[in-house]
A and B are shown apart, each in its own frame.
Chain A
Amino acid sequence: MAKADSIISISGVTKRFGPVTAVDDISFGIHRGEFFSLLGSSGCGKTTLLRMLAGFEQPTEGEVFIDGEPMAGVPANHRPTNMVFQSYAIFPHLNVRENIGYGLRNAGISKDEAGKRVNDALELVKLSGYGERAAHQLSGGQRQRVALARALVCRPKVLLLDEPLGALDKNLREEMQIELRALQKTVGITFVFVTHDQEEALTLSDRIAVMSKGRVLQIDAPEALYDNPNCREVAEFIGTMNIFAGKVAGAAKAHAVIDAGALGPLQIVGSGTKGSGVFLAVRPEKLKLTTKKPAASVNAITGVVSAISYRGDRHHFLVKAEGHDRAISVSQQNDSETSATPVKVGGKVWVTWPYSAGRLLSH
């Protein structure tokens, strides 16, 4: 259960609030020194799980171990974790230095040592010279840095971050993502990061746990999650995914043949039990649009372009195909070959992709 390299081990943890089960029998480990994200839409239980790590909530069932120590009954003030709150929770009656030094009063270190640590922390988050600023004089990004410094100065074994970038505007958020990642590498502390933003999770994390309805669907590295989702929900949550439902009709060489109803037979690398319901998932950027009927060695669906949107580096197309409810998303890079695209809204097109591009999902 508790692997040697796990700094955090979550074992059969369930949390109920009255009749509501917020976290449902979750077990996994978080490796020492990794940047780990809990990803899911609101209400999936990710924040509740983080709060159980911090000690603000107690599991109804199961146990949490941090660095091998059982955490049952250990209050937040005695845990080797520190947290960056969603609202930052900067103490408004204290200045920046006092905020950052707040947790050092009980650290059993001298005043000089504490002062030195605060200075180091200020430097770490690039706020040197801001120490005497009052809390209300800080911008959103600066508050975020103070919250980070205040948590890191206590030298926790694990830093918990509850959607810390959610309140920042887009440019600042992207800047902070890069800084946060660099900071984590510098200090080498395990980060557990809660977010609902899949792009943010992909950018920052070593590994991501995708959560839904109190359960963990998949834990993997960002590339693996994107390329090899283990179920339909993960596939649709991470990025955009076209999903075609069908039944396994048979096999051809190393391919499974899927009967996708009106869309016709589709082929994909892999195999499945004949007759079982499956989903074929394929990313928009793996699809190609052509106006001529393609060769027989690829999957092809015919449809009508219902919308085109220009995204600068690429064009995004929505294609309506008969027998498929949702429009098919197609993304094409605007390189020299395709920039002068002849495709128009209302035009009849073929959507094609090779057999190796999709993924076969059983649920």
Chain B
Amino acid sequence: MLGKPSALFIYAIAFMIFLYGPVMLMPVFSLNDSTFATFPLKGFTTRHYASMLANTSMILSLKNSLVVGVAVSITATAIGLPAAIALTRYRLPGGGPVLGAMMLPLVIPSIVIAVALLAIILRFLHMELSLWTVGAGHILLCIPFSMTVLMSRLEGFDKSLEEASRDLGENAWMTFVRVTLPLAAPGVISSLLLCFIISFDEFVIAFFLTGTENTLPVYLFSQLRFPNKLPGTLALGSAILLGSALLVVAAEMLRKLGVQSAKPGDL
């Protein structure tokens, strides 16, 4: 092990560089005293972070994305949870086709969904394009992901746990609150995070369905034409990277603190 590194070890290192190299360059350039993201590095600066904070339209688009992302993750998970429970727990007539229909957005190109939604919203619903329409599009996109995560958690859930709760005097609602929800909690947290990331990251639907307010990806795309704005973008990217890393760590700690068992069907 300490002698000649094996071929597999070198391959693993190369693979990690391939995966994370470009991402890691971003914080480096964000601290580089140059307008252009190129080598050689010229010197340390925090001016890009200052210009990022001064860029009110960028901060506003970030806020828009956060608001849409949070609303979408909560809504999609709230819709996904009852559906996932129904599909995993009961043998529903037509359960298969229903599941298929709900999973369909996974395989439809988002450009197709975006065009279709745009046509529906403008032609049939006569709604103004806004962050609301972006959010609605994102919910549609997120539900299959939410369902996949939740169903894998609820799979193998011992039905007698809920019966035991009923038997011990709780009604259907309190059984959901005291048994089903706590056991599904890790899945719910995963679903919230996943949906948030999908919405936060999504460009095509947001680009088609947004009105005057931009989400962050749409804003960044519009700024790519101006290279002198790029360093502010790199600073923002680095800040988001740090933020999401903290979020994932926090969620993981929360999950470990909460439910000890790995799976609901463990006992």
Contact = CB atoms under 8 A, between A and B. Distances in A.
A136 B166 contact: no
B93 to A, nearest CB: 13
A272 to B, nearest CB: 48
B261 A107 contact: no
A146 to B, nearest CB: 10
Contacts of B166: 55-56, 75-77
Nearest to A107: B169
Interface residues of A, number: 31
Contact of A92 (B168, B178, B183): B183
Contact of A56 (B163, B261, B266): B163
Contacts of B179: 91
Nearest to B258: A93
A103 interface: yes
Interface residues of B, number: 23
A209 interface: no
Contacts of B167: 54-56, 76-77, 81-83, 103, 151
Nearest to A95: B260
A78 B166 CA distance: 9
Contacts of A88: 267
Given A103-B169, A143-B267, A154-B169, A92 B261 contact: yes
A64 interface: no
A103 B160 contact: no
B161 A77 contact: no
Nearest to B259: A93
Nearest to A135: B267
B163 A154 contact: no
A134 interface: yes
Contacts of B160: 85-87, 89
Contact of B168 (A75, A102, A134, A135): A102
Given A77-B171, A134-B260, 18 more contacts: A55-B166, A56-B166, A76-B163, A76-B167, A77-B170, A81-B167, A83-B167, A85-B160, A85-B163, A88-B267, A89-B163, A90-B267, A102-B165, A102-B178, A103-B169, A136-B260, A150-B168, A154-B169
